[in-house]
Chains A and B, each alone.
Chain A
Amino acid sequence: AQSVTQPDIHITVSEGASLELRCNYSYGATPYLFWYVQSPGQGLQLLLKYFSGDTLVQGIKGFEAEFKRSQSSFNLRKPSVHWSDAAEYFCAVGAQAAGNKLTFGGGTRVLVKP
C-alpha cells in the first residue's frame, strides 16, 4: 500500500528566506509524485508533479522539488518565500494502476513572518 509522510506539521519562515518541505513516500514501484497547495477556504492547486526523467522538477509560483529514490523522498523547495506562500502544502503519491486515486500526506502548514 502507498503511504506518504510529511514530518513537519507546521513551519514558520521569514519572508524572503528559503523554504524546504519534506516528504517521504512508501511505494513498491516507481511512484508518481505530486505537491499540492491549499490556501485557506480554497481547494487544492497542483504545484508540480514527477512521473519520470529529470529528478529535479520545476513547478508554478517558483517552487521546485527533487525526487531521490534512494531516500524515498520528494522534498519541495522555494529559494525566497513571499507572504502569499502562507498556506498548507500536501505531498501525494499515485500509481498508474490506481486511476486518479492519490494518497496524500498529512500536510505542512507554512506561516510566513514579515
Chain B
Amino acid sequence: KAGVTQTPRYLIKTRGQQVTLSCSPISGHRSVSWYQQTPGQGLQFLFEYFSETQRNKGNFPGRFSGRQFSNSRSEMNVSTLELGDSALYLCASSPGQGAFSGELFFGEGSRLTVL
C-alpha cells in the first residue's frame, strides 16, 4: 500500500504570495490532518478533514485554509505569506470510520521557505 504522498516536497515563495500544498492519503483513509512543524513552535495542529468536512481546526489565522475532495485527497492553502510561515507542513491520514483513531500516518512533508 502506498504511503501518504505530499507535493511539492520543497518550495520557495516570497512574502505576500500564496501557496497550495497537496496531500494524497493512504488508500481507504478518510481522515486527513495537517500539522505545521517549526523549530520554535514545534508541531502544531492546523486542521482535520473527514469525508470532505472540516472536523477540527487549530489556532491559526484565516490565511490558512484547506479542503478535502471526494477521493479524500486534501489541499491546504496559505495566502499572503509571511516570513513566519516558513515551516515543514506535514499531512497525516488516519484509518477507521469513527471520530477518533489517533493513529496518524504521516507523509514526508512539504518544506516551505518564505523569503
Q: Which A residues form the contact surface with B (CB < 8 A)?
A: 32, 34, 36, 41-46, 49, 51, 90, 94-107
A41 touching B100 in the complex, CB below 8 Å, given contacts A99-B55, A99-B56, A100-B48: no
A94 touching B102 in the complex, CB below 8 Å, given contacts A42-B108, A43-B4, A43-B90: yes
Q: Please, how many angstroms separate the alpha-carbon atoms of A102 and B100 in the complex?
A: 11
- The reply on B22 being an interface residue by CB < 8 A is no
Interface size on B, residues (CB 8 A): 27
Q: Across the interface, which residues of A come within 8 angstroms of B45, CB to CB?
A: 101-103
Q: Please, how many angstroms separate the alpha-carbon atoms of A12 and B92 in the complex?
A: 29
Establish whether residues B33 and A101, one from each chain, have CB atoms under 8 Å apart when the complex forms: yes
Establish whether residues B102 and A32, one from each chain, have CB atoms under 8 Å apart when the complex forms: yes
Q: Across the interface, which residues of A come within 8 angstroms of B33, CB to CB?
A: 100-101
Establish whether residues B56 and A101, one from each chain, have CB atoms under 8 Å apart when the complex forms: yes
Establish whether residues A99 and B100, one from each chain, have CB atoms under 8 Å apart when the complex forms: yes
- What are 14 of the A-B contact pairs (CB < 8 Å)? A42-B108, A43-B4, A43-B90, A43-B107, A46-B104, A90-B43, A97-B100, A98-B56, A100-B31, A100-B48, A100-B101, A100-B102, A102-B104, A107-B42
